[in-house]
Amino acid sequence: MMRKRLRGAVLLAFLALLLAACAGYTEVGPSESEHRGMGSGDLTVEIGKANGTTTKSIELAGGGDLTLEADVTLAVGLGSYKIELLGANDQVTLVLEANAGETVEGHGQMVTDTIGEASYRVTATNAEKVTYVIQYTFR
C-alpha cells in the first residue's frame, strides 16, 4: 500500500514538472500599439500579467539585414521582466531587467531577418503591470 502511494506521488510530481516545462510563456491582458514613419517607429506594449520566456518580433517592411538602433524603456509593477534585444545570429545586444516598482532604460541594436522581422526575447517571472516601449530608427 505504501509503495503504491509513493509511486503515485512520484508520478504526480513528474507530471507537474512536465506541465511546467511545456507551459512556455503566458500573458494576460496584453495590448500593443505601433507607429511607423520614414526611417523610424515605436512599439508600445502593456501587459496585465506574464510568466515564462518567449521570442517576439517587430514586423518591418524592407526585407532582411536592416539594422535598427533601439531605445527601450521598461517598467514593472510586480515581479520581474527582462527584455533582450537580438542582433545578427540572435546575438544579445541589450539586456534590460526591471523588478517590482522599477523603470529601466537602455540602448541596443536589432537586425531584421530575411522576411523583415526584428526579434527580441522576453522573460517574465510573476510579472504584473508591465509596460515597455521600443523606439527605433533605421541605420
Distances (CA, A) of 109 to 26, 57, 71: 26, 13, 9
Sign (positive/negative) of CA torsion 38, 110, 93, 54? positive
The pLDDT tens digits of the residues spanning 47-81 come to 999 999 999 999 887 677 789 999 999 999 999 99
Residues of the chain with pLDDT under 70: 1-23, 62
Query: Given the DSSP bridges, would you call strands 26-28 and 40-59 parallel, antiparallel or unpaired?
Result: antiparallel
Separation of alpha carbons 136 and 72, rounded Å: 9
Write down all domains in the chain, each with its CATH number in brackets.
Answer: 25-138 (2.60.120)
Return the pLDDT at 18.
40
